[in-house]
Amino acid sequence: MRVTVVGAGYVGATSAVVLAYLGHRVTCVERNAARLDRWLGGEDPLGEPGLAELRGQVAVEFTSEACSIASAEVVIVAVGTPMDDNGRPDLSQLDAATAEIGGLAADGAIVVIRSTVPVGTCDRLQNSTLRRLRVVSNPEFLREGQALQDAFFPDRIVAGGPPEAQRPIEELYGRILEGRDLPGNPRQEGPPPLLWMSARSAELAKYAANGFLATKLSFVNEIANIAHAVGADASAVLGSMALDPRIGRHFLRPGLGWGGSCFPKDTRAFQVIAEGAGYDFVVLRAAIEQNARQLARFAKAIERAVPSRSTVGLLGLAFKAGTSDTRESPAIALARRLIRGGLNVVAYDPGVQQFPDEPRLSVRAALVEACADADAVVIATEWPEFAEMDLTALRLVTRGDLLFDGRNLISPARAALAGFRYHGVAGLGD
C-alpha cells in the first residue's frame, strides 16, 4: 500500500519504519527541520534501540513535503498532543495536520489517527475537515525503549471507524496480524487479534489502558508504603501478588512515582474527558494525587535527613531506564524540588548528558563524579548501572553515608555492608 505518515516522533517514525519493513511504500513527513535533518543524516534523534539500524534496511523516505499525501491510500497521523495548562491535550498540531490532509488526500483515502486524542475527536474530524475520507482511530501501545518489539509483536491492535475501513487496516498490518516473517521473538503465542470497534471505543481504549496502568502503579506504591508502616516486607507482598494471573506480574515495581510523556498527560486528559461527560472518576483522581504525594514523600525524607546547603549526588534524570527522555521525569521534578529547598544537586544519567532547562542542576559524565563529596546519594531512575554499582568504592568518594533508593534497586544489607545508611522508597516515614 502507499502510506504517508505525518510526524516522525517515536510513534510516527516507528510506524513508518515498521510498515516499510512489512513491504508498504512509506513516506514520513516531518516539519521540525532539526529532527528531519537527523533522520535524513541516517540518525535516529529519539535514540530508540534498533530503529536507526532497521531504517537503514528498508526503503522509507523522510521529507518535509506533504505531496505524497495526494497519492496515499493510507495517511497515518502521529503528531504530538501535548498537555496544555488546563490538563487538556493541545490539538493544534493534529488540527493543522488533518486540515492539510483534508485538502490533499484522494477521496475515500483512509486517515489513521495514531496520536492519543480525546474521545470523539475522530468523529469530529470525520464530520468536518476529513468528510471526504475515512477516519480510523488506531491508538498505539508502544513503550519507549521497546518500540520495535511492541510494534512487531503487539498484544493487540485496536482500531475503529467506518466498517469499510476494516479490510484496508487488516492489509496495512498484514504480516503482524499473521505473525509471519517478523524480526525478533514474539512475547506471546500466536499473532495478535485486531480488535475492531467504534472510533470512540478505540480512543477510550487507549486512555483506559494508560489510566489503569498508572492506577496500578499508584496502588503498588501505596502497598509499599503501607507495608513499611506495618512492619511487613513490600517485596514479599508484591511478589505474592505477582503470581495471581488476575493481577499479573508486570508493573509491580514501587518507585518515586510514574512519569514520562504519556501517563501524566493521559491521566489528566482522561480526568478531563470524564468531567466533560459529567462523571467523577474518583479512582483515577486518587491515583494522580497519590503520584504527586509519592514524590513529595520521597523528597521530604531527603530534606529531613540532610542539612541545608548539602550536596546530593542524583543518579538518574530520565523518566525510566532505557531512554534519554526526561519529559515529566520524576527524577527532574525531584531535582528541582531539592534545589528549591537550598540543596546542591549534581546528577549523572547514562542516557542524559545535559539538562540545560535547569541551569542550577550540574550534570556530570560519570557516576563517581556526580557522587564525589556528596552528603547523600539518591537513586531516581532504575538503570542497571545503578543496581550493579560498587557501593564500597562509591562510599570512598562520598562525604556522607546516606543512600536514598527511589527505585528499590539496592538491598538494604548490601548498602549497610558498604557503610551506607539506606532508605528505600518503602522505607520512609511520613
Beta strands in 20-92 (DSSP E): 25-29, 60-63, 74-77
Closest-CA residue to 144 (of 265, 58, 259):
259
Determine if 77 is a binding residue for ligand UGA (CB under 6 A). Answer: no
* 368: exposed, middle or buried (Cβ count in 10 Å: 0-12, 13-18, 19+): middle
Stretch that binds ligand UGA, among 33-41, 254-262, 277-285, 338-346 (CB under 6 A): 254-262
Among 259, 264, 316, 406, binds ligand UGA (CB under 6 A): 259
Among 39, 319, 383, 404, binds ligand UGA (CB under 6 A): 319
Comparison of 48 and 375: residue with beta carbon closer to ligand UGA: 48
Minimum distance from residue 146 beta carbon to ligand UGA (Å)? 8
Determine if 153 is a binding residue for ligand UGA (CB under 6 A). Answer: no
Which phi and psi (to 5°) does residue 173 adopt?
-90, -5
Stretch that binds ligand UGA, among 53-61, 123-131, 137-145, 151-159 (CB under 6 A): 137-145
CB-CB contact of 231 with 298 (8 Å): no
Determine if 212 is a binding residue for ligand UGA (CB under 6 A). Answer: no
Minimum distance from residue 174 beta carbon to ligand UGA (Å)? 21
β 110-113/74-77 pair status? parallel
Determine if 251 is a binding residue for ligand UGA (CB under 6 A). Answer: yes
Minimum distance from residue 162 beta carbon to ligand UGA (Å)? 25
Stretch that binds ligand UGA, among 53-61, 68-76, 139-147, 306-314 (CB under 6 A): 139-147
The residues annotated as belonging to the active site are 262
Closest-CA residue to 138 (of 73, 78, 80, 70):
78
Beta strands in 256-326 (DSSP E): 311-315
- Between 171 and 210, how does the x/- string for binding to ligand UGA read (CB under 6 A)? ---------------------------------------x
Stretch that binds ligand UGA, among 63-71, 76-84, 255-263, 309-317 (CB under 6 A): 255-263
Distance CA 111, CA 102 (A): 9
Determine if 140 is a binding residue for ligand UGA (CB under 6 A). Answer: yes
Closest-CA residue to 428 (of 310, 316, 297, 321):
297
DSSP class of 360: T
Stretch that binds ligand UGA, among 138-146, 272-280, 348-356, 368-376 (CB under 6 A): 138-146
Minimum distance from residue 307 beta carbon to ligand UGA (Å)? 30
Determine if 144 is a binding residue for ligand UGA (CB under 6 A). Answer: yes
Determine if 219 is a binding residue for ligand UGA (CB under 6 A). Answer: no
* 107: helix, strand or coil: coil
Q: What b/e string do you get for 47-82 counting C-beta neighbours within 10 Å, with b at 16 or more?
A: bbbbbbebbeebebbbbeebebbeebbbbbbbbbbe
Among 20, 46, 136, 217, binds ligand UGA (CB under 6 A): 217
Determine if 143 is a binding residue for ligand UGA (CB under 6 A). Answer: yes
Among 141, 327, 364, 411, binds ligand UGA (CB under 6 A): 141
User: What value does the CA radius of gyration of the chain take, rounded to a whole number of Å?
Assistant: 23
Comparison of 263 and 355: residue with beta carbon closer to ligand UGA: 263
Determine if 51 is a binding residue for ligand UGA (CB under 6 A). Answer: no
* 32: exposed, middle or buried (Cβ count in 10 Å: 0-12, 13-18, 19+): middle
Distance CA 318, CA 324 (A): 5
Distance CA 324, CA 332 (A): 12
Distance CA 299, CA 301 (A): 5
Give the residues lining the site for ligand UGA (CB under 6 A). Answer: 140-144, 210, 213, 217, 251-253, 255, 258-260, 262-263, 266, 319-320
